[in-house]
Amino acid sequence: MLPGLRGADPSVLDRIEAGYGLSAEPEAIHPEPFTAPSLFLFGRQDDVVGFEDGWSFRDHYPRASYVVLDAAGHNAHLERPSLTGALISDWLLRMDAP
């Protein structure tokens, strides 16, 4: 991650950030429940998006796993790679299951 941060062009990042938000929430555009296996992975110490709001989507994703990892922030995949990898492996297995 560090090489990417060091080599990033701040003006490009500013342009991306300016148009980064969604025009509408996916759940509002597609109000029917999403019934495929899903994984919501949150870092308890994430100061960018937090973790509590994600739980409000639980009825829209009836086959979702919701995981809040302690000792992880916005980069849970880097901060807790073994556990993140296990959770993603489990999700992929659920995707392949009939």
Please give the model's pTM, rounded to 2 decimal places. 0.81
- Domain coordinates in residue numbering, the chain: 2-96
User: How is residue 79 written in tokens?
Assistant: 């901060």
- CA dist., res. 1 & res. 71, Å (int): 18
Fold of the CATH domain 2-96: Rossmann fold (3.40.50)
> pLDDT tens across 65-78, in order?
999 999 999 999 99
> pLDDT tens across 11-54, in order?
998 998 888 888 899 999 999 999 999 999 999 999 988 889 88
φ/ψ of residue 44, rounded to 5 = -60, -30
Contacts of 26 (CB under 8 A, 6+ apart): none
- CA dist., res. 36 & res. 30, Å (int): 14
